[in-house]
Amino acid sequence: GAGVSQSPSNKVTEKGKDVELRCDPISGHTALYWYRQSLGQGLEFLIYFQGNSAPDKSGLPSDRFSAERTGGSVSTLTIQRTQQEDSAVYLCASSKEGQLYGYTFGSGTRLTVV
Amino acid sequence: DAKTTQPTSMDCAEGRAANLPCNHSTISGNEYVYWYRQIHSQGPQYIIHGLKNNETNEMASLIITEDRKSSTLILPHATLRDTAVYYCIVRVEAAGNKLTFGGGTRVLVKP
């Protein structure tokens, strides 16, 4: 597609439930990044994918967070047993490898844990 | 990656040039200067980047000092739609080298 697509755009879930967030990167972009942004805060890196592998998972805040990417394209970020502090906007970005000015962000998924 | 320092906020008059400073005194020779902005409720948007030379594109100009320890992003004719948080980031351009966002400068363009 023309841009990075994320779904759902908004998600309200109850504390303790699992959620899945989806990212469709730009076709041909091999690098994919997940970030999150809590209300009024800066962007926090979560994980980086090169193709289907994740050489950098250093930003995942706990083992409740996991992500996968299949076919070098779509990525899913899963949060298990959600907590209220997980409430944030989760942003996905993709780029051609080595082209940081080709870093294109999606509009994000706003997750609210109640 | 080198740390950057930006003012927390600044106001700008519509139609005037907006000059956004960034200090990166510990930048190393192979680190680029990148600027992104984030308009409310949207993902960050790439603006411009440079290494040593000044750069200009359809959105902005980037002025980098000769010692590379600071830079200025110039929006030549600010509009209300330029109201956003502007992030200055310095980093080595390499595969998998993620962007690290600081606090940025909150720019408010006023009529």
Could you read off the pLDDT of A52-107 as tens digits, one per residue?
998 899 999 999 999 999 988 999 999 999 999 999 999 999 988 766 666 899 99
Asked whether the beta carbons of residue A101 and residue B91 sit closer than 8 angstroms, the reply is no
Q: What is the mean pLDDT of residues A10-21?
A: 98
**Inter-chain CB proximity A31 and B43 less than 8 Å:** no
Nearest to B98 among A42, A45, A102 (CB): A45
- pLDDT attached to residue A55: 87
Whether A1 shows a pLDDT value over 60: the answer reads no
CA dihedral (A95, B5, A109, A97) in degrees, to 10, reads 10
Q: Which of A42, A56, A97 sits opposite B98 (nearest CB)?
A: A56
**CB within 8 Å: A50 and B101:** no
Judge residue B37's burial from the number of C-beta atoms within 10 Å of its C-beta, 0-12 exposed, 13-18 middle, 19 or more buried: buried
Instruction: Write the residue in A43, A55, A101 that is nearest to B101 by C-beta.
Output: A43
3-state secondary structure of A94: strand
State the average pLDDT over residues B64-73.
Answer: 97
Distance from CA of B84 to the nearest CA of A (A): 13
The verdict on a CB contact (< 8 Å) between B44 and A43 is: yes
The minimum CA-CA distance between B36 and chain A, rounded to whole Å, is 9
Q: How far is CA A44 from CA A11, A40, A48, A60, B80, in A?
A: 19, 12, 12, 10, 27
What is the model's pLDDT at position A98?
64
Q: Which residues contact B67 (CB under 8 A, 6 or more apart)?
A: none
Q: In what order do the strands lie in the sheet with B45-50?
A: B9-13, B105-110, B84-92, B31-38, B45-50
Strand-pair partners of A112: A12
Cβ contacts (< 8 Å) between A102 and chain B: which residues?
Answer: 46
Rounded CA gap, A80 and B81, in Å?
Answer: 38
pLDDT in tens, A22-49: 999 999 899 999 999 998 888 999 999 9
Any A CB within 8 A of B40 CB:
no
CA angle B51, A97, B42 (to 5 degrees): 80
Spatial neighbors of A82 by CB under 8 A, at least 6 apart, are A13, A14, A15, A16, A17, A18, A19, A64, A111, A113
What distance in Å separates the CA atoms of residue B29 and residue B35, rounded to the nearest whole number? 18
Judge: A101–B44 Cβ closer than 8 Å, yes or no: no
pLDDT at B110: 97
Does the beta-carbon distance from A56 to B49 stay under 8 Å? Answer: no
Q: Check pLDDT > 80 for residue B70.
A: yes
Q: Report pLDDT for A86.
A: 97
Average pLDDT along chain B: 93
The helix/strand/coil state of A100 is helix
For residue A11, what is the enclosing H or E element?
strand A10-13
* Chain A positions in Cβ-Cβ contact with residue B100 (cut-off 8 Å): 45
The pLDDT-based confidence of A2 (bands split at 50, 70, 90) is confident
pLDDT at B96 over 80: no
- What pLDDT score was predicted for residue B99? 86
Which residues in A lie closer than 8 A to residue B46 (C-beta atoms)?
Answer: 101-104
At residue A21, the pLDDT reads: 98
